[in-house]
Structures are given as structure tokens and as C-alpha cells.
Amino acid sequence: MTDAEFEESLALAPEAVRRYLSGKGWRAERDLNGGELWERGPGNEPDPGDEPGPPYEVLVPSRRRRDYPGRIADILETLALVETRRPGDILREMQLPPVDWQFLRLVPPGPSGTAPLLDLVSALTGFKDLHTAAASSALAPQAVQPGQKPQVVKDHVAAVRLDQTRVGSYVLAAHTPLPDPLARLPRVAHEQATLFHADAAPDGPGARQAEPFGRQVTRMLFAGVTCAVAAAEETLAQDSLTDFDRFTGAGLSANLCESLVRIAGEERRDFSLAFAWSSELPVEQPSPPVNIASRHLEALEEGAKDLRARLGHEAGAVLRGVVTRLHAEHLGSREATVYGFFEHEYAARMRNVRVRLRREDIDPATDAWRNRYEVLVEGDTEPRGNGVKMRHVSAFVVRPE
């Protein structure tokens, strides 16, 4: 520890140390004179970067005495050995408010602790989209989440913080802040919610509403990813696409499946997601790491396409392409066929989309058709036979060459 970090430890409350230890799998064993003895046994550590080891012990002071900084320094040095991290990094994490953690473990080629830039770009984009999908499902579970996201979803994604990487190939650590314990409803309401569906808890929907939104999102993230892997395994075992829609209530969506495929990148590498829950809102149900193998990805991709094809009502979708045909309809209205792709889809798929034009869109669409100009169209999509139709157009932009 540096001298500055040693001074910082003076301000660290014993409650913060206990919260950190509890969240990392340590257990309070017994009270001693002036402190508590905490122990970490093999396999208790939720961080996927750490390997199981023999038991460790630390003595947490119950109150500040003259040797308080030295006691905290001893704890930090032990934790640094257990976690293979700098004591100052652990101290900084102890100073955080209550948070839920997610650990995205990549398995890129090359030395441990490094990753190709392109792999990280895909992983971070997919990780952001994964949180967006989970936050959308926390508000309203749907097979296909709308393109226009509510502000609360955007606020959640903006609040997620990336932490320093962990040891173990390449581990991205992120945390979701939770509100101060004093500002929340009684804890009993939270403890009754399950990780897969709070409405199934004894108190029904009320238990779910009592949770902080950040915890609802983390729970939806864990459940949705777990169900996505289960659906992929079922598809592979049956050699036939299973019904992904039946997992929608637990957080699975076409958007979430596409996010998992995006994390794997162009090389379709294996990865895993692990979760650590804030000790301020303890979770008794086991939440083991979820492993997504390359063999799952094709099933996830096909499951997402099936959900979009059957249930793909998307609000605020953006279509990019060219007008290939104009259709005269009754009462002077028109439709256009646009051959292109939707920008929200990771695996861009070219298709013919029937677009219902507004009166002011007819002339620009005609000009684009005659000159083969590219167009950008924003509107709501819905299934149309084996294809997609766009209605309620809010923007029609012609992009001349």
C-alpha cells in the first residue's frame, strides 16, 4: 500500500469492509475481542478470475482504535494475495456504494490479460446491448424489444460502470449501482423475489415492484442469459429450433440473444458471465457462472430471427436501403418496397420491406426510386407473411449520391 492509500483507510468504515467480504464469499465465523474473524474457504469466490484455494482468515475490527489503519492494511494485503490485485484497487472498491457486479470473461488468443482490439469492441458493444435488453425486459418482458427505449432504460445503461480488468484470461468487470439502503423499502420485500421471476414469489408482483430498478435489471440479465443457453442447448439436443418465446417472461428476447452473439465477435469465441450480488440485498438462490460456447451461437442467432419473424413488432426501427417498387393503393395512398436492412440488427440481413408512405413521402420516394438513391426510413415494423411491413413512418430521408 502507498502512504496515500494508508491514509485513505482511516475513513473506511468497518461496515464497508464487512459488506465487501460478504459479497466476495467470505463468512463471519466468530466474534473475538474487539473484532470479527472472517474466513474464505475454497470455491467461495464469485469472481471468475480467481482460482479456489485453501482457507484464509482476516480479523475485521468492530470499531476504530489507534491501530485501526494497520488492521485495515493487513486485511487489504490478505485480499490482494487472494484476488491477485493491488491493495489500492481493493480499497477503492470497498469505498463504492452498494452495487451488483457482472464479470464478462473472454477467452481470446494470446497472453493472459490481453485481448485483440476488435474482440474488445464487439464485446463491449454486446455488453452494452445486453444491459439495454435486460433493462427493457425489467420494464416489460417482450419477445422483441422496441427500438425506441424509455428514458429509464437509457439512464440505467448510462449508470453502469466498467471497473479494472481482472486476472483470468481477460475479464471485464462492470457494476450496477443500487440506491442507498436507507432510501429503500424494507429488505424482506426484496428477499422474496426469485432470480427468474419475481411475480412467482409469495408476495406476487408487489415484491418485484419493491426492488430497486438496478437489481431488477441484474436479475433479468442473469435469468435471460441462463434461459438463452437452456434454449440453445435444447435446440442442439433436438436438432430443431425450440420455442424461445416461452422464456420471454424470464428476460429472454431476440435483442438479448443478438447481444450474446455480438459479444462473441466475428471469431465466435467462447465466453462466460458471472454475477456477484450486493450484500445489502442478499440473494439466497445460487447463481453460478453462465458459459456461452461457440456451438450455442448459431442456435441463438436462429432463435432471435424466429422471434423477430413471428413476433417482430418493433417501434422506431431504422431501415436503410433503396426503393425498388412503388405501389398505388386506394384513396390515393401509396406504399413502397425498400430493399435493405434494419440498423438495429447485428447480423444485417437484406430483405424486401413494404413501407406505408405518408403523403409528404410520396415525391421523395418517387425521386429515390427513379435515381436509385439510398433512403433511411424510420417507423414501426410488424410481421407480414414471411416478411416485414413498416407503418407509422416518422422520417423518410433520401440520400443522393
Distance between CA 178 and CA 171 in Å, rounded? 22
Q: List pLDDT tens digits, range 117-151.
A: 999 999 999 999 999 999 999 998 989 887 778 89
Alpha-carbon distances of 2 from 8, 93, 123, 163, rounded to whole Å: 10, 16, 34, 20
Distance between CA 151 and CA 173 in Å, rounded? 25
Q: Minimal CA–CA distance to 244: which of 127, 371, 142? A: 142
Reported as a pLDDT band with limits 50, 70 and 90, residue 299 is very high
pLDDT in the model for residue 8: 78
Residues paired with residue 68 on neighbouring β-strands, in sequence order: none
pLDDT: which is higher, 385 or 162: 162
Please state whether the predicted TM-score (pTM) of the whole model is above 0.75: no
Q: List pLDDT tens digits, range 68-102.
A: 888 888 999 999 888 888 888 888 888 888 889 99
Reported for 392-397, long-range contacts at CB under 8 A and 24+ positions apart, including other chains, are 392/356, 393/355, 393/356, 393/357, 393/358, 393/361, 394/316, 396/357, 396/358, 396/360, 396/361, 396/364, 396/365
Q: List pLDDT tens digits, range 11-60.
A: 788 888 888 888 788 888 888 777 889 988 654 444 444 455 567 889 89
**257 in Cβ contact with 303 (< 8 Å):** yes
Reported as a pLDDT band with limits 50, 70 and 90, residue 315 is confident
Indicate the pairing of strand 387-399 with strand 374-384: antiparallel
Residue that is written with C-alpha cell 493472459 in the block: 112
pLDDT beyond 60 at 176: yes
Cell numbers describing residue 370: 427513379
pLDDT beyond 70 at 209: no
Q: List pLDDT tens digits, range 249-297.
A: 999 999 999 999 999 999 999 999 999 898 788 888 889 999 999 999 9
The alpha carbon of residue 225 and the mean position of all alpha carbons in its chain are separated, in whole angstroms, by 9
pLDDT in the model for residue 208: 47
